[in-house]
Structure 1
Amino acid sequence: MRSPQQRIGLTQTQRLALNTSLQASIAILRTDAAGLTRYLEEQAAENPHLRLEPPPQPALQDWLPRWANVLGGTSGGLGLAAETADTSPSLMAHVMGEIEAMKFAPNDLKIAIALAEVLEPSGWLGAELRQVVAETRATQAEVEAVLHRLQQMEPTGIFARNLAECLRLQAIEAGVLDREMAAVLAHLDLLATGDLGRLAKACHIPEAAVLQRFRAIRSMNPKPGAQFASISAAQMREPDLVVKATANGWSIALNRSALPTLRVTKSDAGSAAGLTQAKAIERMVEARNTTLLLVGREILARQQEAIRLGPVGLAPMTMADLAEALGFHESTISRVVAGASLDSPRGTWWLRQMFSPALGGNGQPLISAAAMRGRLARLVAAENPARPLSDEALAMALTIDTGVTIARRTVAKYREAEGIPVASRRKRKPVLPRMGRKGRAEG
């Protein structure tokens, strides 16, 4: 029996190794403003050559675009299309699920459903409590008690009776509702005008205290129900990009108040290698910001109707389309939009969710899948709640509406993605007509 023989051979393999600098560049490119701030704070703590300055504090009139048309005098030069009159079916599904989990007693359950039926797309109540009292034949105290329980529901601010109450609920959750905050919330009309001196005098607090409360209010969500739109960003934070309406159209810019200012200064406490690393980080951050703004501008150029109309206005768009237009690799686009958000007059949107493939073609009109889901949500919101539409009926209605043939199973998939229950679970008895802001019924 032969003993095993050892042989020595040469083989050639290829491996891609990412150096530390390239890894950091990729990480910075795909990091949102909050994550990038944390990263820079960590680097500045270790590298004496890096110095961070706090982001510029917003002035009293520097509202985020999400506040347009909420406070008087804060809207831009372009008029927005009216929001859907009917509550989002995703919002209603969420609310009814939460009500079921709260295990109300029968009489209180009737009140809770009546209050849910008059929710507006913003998440605010669209009717006076006295109307719910009359409809349910309950007492004012009973309705208020149920309302108080419903206001504990997430997202905070839902079931508020007005903007001030919506913000008050969020201030309580954040632990910032002190005497000064309560005074500012009681004078939202003055806060909207930007008259700092007059507001401080009315609140009997220093101007610096007014500015501090304003900055806390600015980060809140004036329309908590709007986050149930299919492309809305749910969490509250400073957005990476801001889109505003101007007299010349839409403009987009980096949100400078979301990031600290990074400066590289030579320090005797640091090494030459540390200085080189600091300069490299500075270049990577500049490249990240430049690339994000370029991508944001291209998205805005292609999706102006979505900014104006909401999800139903989304045009077909892929990352490959943007990569070709900007001369980037598709992976670069993917990294840039990962976790990045855009604040607009219609709320805060995830950039990644503004991409959607095309439906139709071959003689049929082109429409994005996201726009089709938006139209589906509108159909459900406008249906007779006593006779909700089946998936087959929705498919037929969408085909007639868009000119694009859509299968029943596709409608079911979109409906589930939007959080819309099946027809049997959507069936309910209408409680009250929706009331306008001045108490008039809207038909």
Structure 2
Amino acid sequence: MNLRTGLWQQQTLKMTMTQELSQAIALLQYSSLELASFLESKALENPLIKLETDNIKSFNPQFDYVKSKRSGSEKDQKAWIEQIGEHVMSLQDFLLSQINYTSLESHEIEVIKILIKHIDENGYLSEDLEEIRKKYPFSPEELEVGLLSIQEEVEPAGIGARDLKECLYLQLLRLEKPNELAETLVREHFELFAEKRWKKISKLTGFDLKDIQSAFDLVLTLNPKPAAIFVSEKSAYIIPEVVIIPNGDEFSISIYDELIPRVSFNESYYKKFTAKQDSEVNRFLKEKQQDYQWIVRSLEQRKETLKNVSMKIVQKQPDFFKKGPSFLKPMTMREVSEELEIHESTVSRAVRDKYIQTPFGTFELRSFFTSTIQTVTNDTASSKQVKDIIKALIEKENKQKPLSDQDLVYLIKEQDGLVISRRTVAKYRDQMSIPSSAKRKRYE
């Protein structure tokens, strides 16, 4: 073995990821809001980048963007949803307002106030009573009595529970028509009951399966998060980046970029400091000018790529845009990338976290790419079509004798001519949050 050391020259070819290329890739996959944030940060570090925000308009989800582009008569409605006045009472204020101060001693009121402070946004006690006792000068008995008072008297029912089991049980105790069976099942057989292992419960207790089923239906009407209605969060609206406008039998494509500030060159700043004839300043300005030019090119390329990918989707999915989502055909990112002569990863980044507004609603761009399912006639179907078929078959099944995954495989092949495996059915069923046949079975 030759273990000599030395220096040799060797020529190799390799690709390197420059900072500009890395940023261009990141910029392509940004959504409109992410891109606007990126440009704002760039403007802070580059004085030659000037952002113009006069074009930015708030997107109104009740406003028909297509009509506005045609008529141009609609004006921007600033923050329309935020203009709606509302007064939201906090959970703690609501719970405290129910305390009957006249019937309680001062120390009892203090205990209840402290316990209410430890109730989380879902209505559960966030800490054990023992942990609370270590922080405050209350006895275990006082804390137990205070918590019991909250659980029995305060609305909504279930507030102050220490876990899901207790939350559901407290709500059952407050029902106008008590159900002793449901109370017993939740109190004594909660895990088996929740897992729908009802035959085992029936064997242990002697309860009839139909009665257990009815008790389960009742429990499903209860609220596992009784305080969730008090959680105040601003609604998050989906803003489409691409808008499809019907034009007879054809469609035109518009890129919605009115949330992105316009980028322009700060000519006055550049001329002011160039005139000083300082080599360091000139080198700095040259770097920032190149940075500006790169951003402008990248923005144009991003818009062009997004438009080309969207156009290709419309070309390959005409039935979807004319007839509706049920006519979605199988299509892969590789097909689109090959036809556009770009890399598959470029397509993936272009559609990431972006939405398209169509005559049938707003959809995620990524949802148009589905896997291919073979049919008995050598045609193809999309995975979405198969999921819709599975969902329809399960909705129509006999709930006393639900269809197994193998039954679904047979029916899909016989009725629709699609060839899929049992494992594929199970995977699609899980993706749609549909339980197995054993857990769908009803006994009444």
Q: Secondary structure of the residue that 2:33 maps to in structure 1? A: helix
Give the deviation of 1:304 after TM superposition.
3.8
Deviates most, 287-296 or 374-383:
374-383
| AA aligned opposite 1:358 | T
Q: Secondary structure of the residue that 2:267 maps to in structure 1? A: coil
Please name the residue that 1:103 is paired with: 168
Deviations 1:42-85, CA, capped at 9 Å, x for gaps:
111111222223323457973468xxxxxxxxxxxxxxxxxxxx
Give the deviation of 1:315 after TM superposition.
0.5
Please name the residue that 1:119 is paired with: none
- Residues in 2 aligned to 1:305 and 1:100: alpha-carbon distance in whole angstroms: 49
Q: Secondary structure of the residue that 2:17 maps to in structure 1? A: coil
Cα 1:15–1:388 change in 2 (3 A) is same
| Structure 1 residue 30 corresponds to structure 2 residue 29 | yes
Deviates most, 342-351 or 273-282:
342-351
Please name the residue that 1:424 is paired with: 438
Give the deviation of 1:5 after TM superposition.
5.8
Please name the residue that 2:350 is paired with: 336
Q: Is the 8 A contact 1:365 1:403 kept in 2?
A: no
Deviates most, 273-282 or 53-62:
53-62
- Residues in 2 aligned to 1:100 and 1:371: alpha-carbon distance in whole angstroms: 39
- Residues in 2 aligned to 1:56 and 1:64: alpha-carbon distance in whole angstroms: 12
Give the deviation of 1:40 after TM superposition.
0.8
Residue of structure 2 aligned with 1:399, choices 402, 413, 417: 413
| Structure 1 residue 256 corresponds to structure 2 residue 263 | no
Q: Secondary structure of the residue that 2:329 maps to in structure 1? A: coil
Residue of structure 2 aligned with 1:356, choices 367, 370, 389: 370
Please name the residue that 1:173 is paired with: 233
Residue of structure 1 aligned with 2:228, choices 134, 152, 155: 152
Give the deviation of 1:150 after TM superposition.
7.3
- Residues in 1 aligned to 2:176 and 2:21: alpha-carbon distance in whole angstroms: 60
Deviates most, 274-283 or 345-354:
345-354
Q: Is the 8 A contact 1:64 1:343 kept in 2?
A: no
Cα 1:307–1:60 change in 2 (3 A) is closer
Deviations 1:402-433, CA, capped at 9 Å, x for gaps:
21222222211221222221112223589xxx
Cα 1:417–1:364 change in 2 (3 A) is same
Give the deviation of 1:248 after TM superposition.
4.7
Q: Secondary structure of the residue that 2:243 maps to in structure 1? A: strand
| AA aligned opposite 2:332 | T
- Residues in 1 aligned to 2:408 and 2:174: alpha-carbon distance in whole angstroms: 33
Q: Is the 8 A contact 2:374 2:419 kept in 1?
A: yes
Cα 1:260–1:427 change in 2 (3 A) is farther
Give the deviation of 1:109 after TM superposition.
9.4
Residue of structure 2 aligned with 1:371, choices 360, 369, 385: 385
Q: Is the 8 A contact 1:319 1:334 kept in 2?
A: yes
- Residues in 2 aligned to 1:27 and 1:307: alpha-carbon distance in whole angstroms: 30
Q: Is the 8 A contact 1:239 1:258 kept in 2?
A: no
Deviations 1:150-186, CA, capped at 9 Å, x for gaps:
7938xxxxxxxxxxxxxxx99x421xxxxxxxxxxxx
Q: Is the 8 A contact 1:241 1:253 kept in 2?
A: yes
- Residues in 1 aligned to 2:332 and 2:316: alpha-carbon distance in whole angstroms: 11
- Residues in 1 aligned to 2:65 and 2:166: alpha-carbon distance in whole angstroms: 35
Cα 1:252–1:425 change in 2 (3 A) is farther
Q: Secondary structure of the residue that 1:364 maps to in structure 2? A: coil
Cα 1:109–1:46 change in 2 (3 A) is farther
- Residues in 2 aligned to 1:108 and 1:256: alpha-carbon distance in whole angstroms: 53
Q: Is the 8 A contact 1:395 1:407 kept in 2?
A: yes
- Aligned pairs for 1:317-328 (under 5 A) are 317-328=331-342
Give the deviation of 1:34 after TM superposition.
2.0
Please name the residue that 2:7 is paired with: 8
Q: Is the 8 A contact 2:376 2:417 kept in 1?
A: no
Identity %: 28
Please name the residue that 2:42 is paired with: 43
Please name the residue that 2:200 is paired with: none
Cα 1:420–1:60 change in 2 (3 A) is closer
- Residues in 1 aligned to 2:340 and 2:175: alpha-carbon distance in whole angstroms: 55
Q: For structure 1, list consecutive stretches of 5 or more residues without a partner in the other structure.
A: 66-98, 112-135, 137-141, 154-168, 175-219, 221-234, 431-443
Cα 1:13–1:103 change in 2 (3 A) is farther
Please name the residue that 1:289 is paired with: 303
| AA aligned opposite 1:334 | S
- Residues in 2 aligned to 1:29 and 1:17: alpha-carbon distance in whole angstroms: 19
Give the deviation of 1:327 after TM superposition.
2.8
**Larger-Rg structure:** 2
Cα root mean square deviation, aligned: 3.8
- Residues in 2 aligned to 1:247 and 1:100: alpha-carbon distance in whole angstroms: 58
Q: Is the 8 A contact 1:37 1:259 kept in 2?
A: yes
Please name the residue that 1:156 is paired with: none
- Residues in 2 aligned to 1:429 and 1:265: alpha-carbon distance in whole angstroms: 74
Cα 1:389–1:410 change in 2 (3 A) is same
Q: Secondary structure of the residue that 1:406 maps to in structure 2? A: coil
Please name the residue that 1:238 is paired with: 239
Deviations 1:182-224, CA, capped at 9 Å, x for gaps:
xxxxxxxxxxxxxxxxxxxxxxxxxxxxxxxxxxxxxx5xxxx
How many corresponding residue pairs? 289
Give the deviation of 1:324 after TM superposition.
2.6
Q: Is the 8 A contact 2:354 2:364 kept in 1?
A: yes
- Aligned pairs for 1:167-246 (under 5 A) are 172-174=232-234, 236-245=237-246
Q: Is the 8 A contact 1:50 1:263 kept in 2?
A: yes
Cα 1:429–1:40 change in 2 (3 A) is farther
Quick one: higher RCO (CA 8 Å, sep 6+), 1 or 2?
A: 1
Cα 1:59–1:306 change in 2 (3 A) is closer
